[in-house]
Structure 1
């Protein structure tokens, strides 16, 4: 049996600061979400497909190495496993904004997406509503969903032509710095009819 598994159970080297480090990671992810905007969930699926295995291996290695110490501290094995699952899921969710920022730092230039509006919907949460317009980009043929202002949402009808000015990022996600431009990302290009 490997010696690192049979060592006396002891606290991880940064046990005292682990919670603070994870909270800093979460705060950094929230800051990334606030600074970079783009397509609705743009890049999230790709980021999860890149991060799921490395993050799983890191969480599993930590839990495996410090299992006895974690069980002594939590008093129940199911709490240790539940905590590991929570850290894993939060890590995946909060890792995405870091990739969005890396994507934006490696800018490849401006990109204009434009096409007819296919549908309108409001995504409600406890804190706010997101006004989402779905349109088909004429250049790529992709269906794109963008969160827009409530004023633009009310002005646009299905069939109108919507234009969105974004940038192409290094990792391939379309983005825009939220506070870098005073003009809105999307605007009404032409009315239907």
Structure 2
């Protein structure tokens, strides 16, 4: 089961989501999308909260208000972190999450520590947490099917772009050939390269 929350601090609103328990978190880790940003309380147990970006967006495109919402959500869903002030929340792109065979269920590390961001949360802000909880809905998505559908659509998009590129290249080659033929024809039509059956300077009217 996955919980979905709507953050309406931006327009259009964005969706935050998290697994109901560590086993759901494990599936989210396994079948996450390259567009997903992962949030977690630093060095403490907490929910794994995700924000799904649009294709082409980066972690730098996330508005500060959305980061604050995600940070408050993971803090509120951390048994220890919810009781503490001045905690840190870390976030990074899903592709930076590292899972090895020896790790416990729901546990992750990072491929590149330098790609992990951190935001300080001084205290719980009930106004934010309550606003997000009012939008909470539950669902039972098929993580694998959703990821495979996403990948299939991406492959089709790449094929379409490749076909369009080949068409453009074909049209460009046709245009170059037509221009080359036109230049060649224009060169042949220049006056100094043309011949005539005029009398070559002979003023006589005789044909012999």
The TM-score range, normalised by the shorter chain, is under 0.3
Q: Which has the higher strand share?
A: 1
Larger radius of gyration: 2
Relative contact order, higher structure (CA 8 A, sep 6+): 1
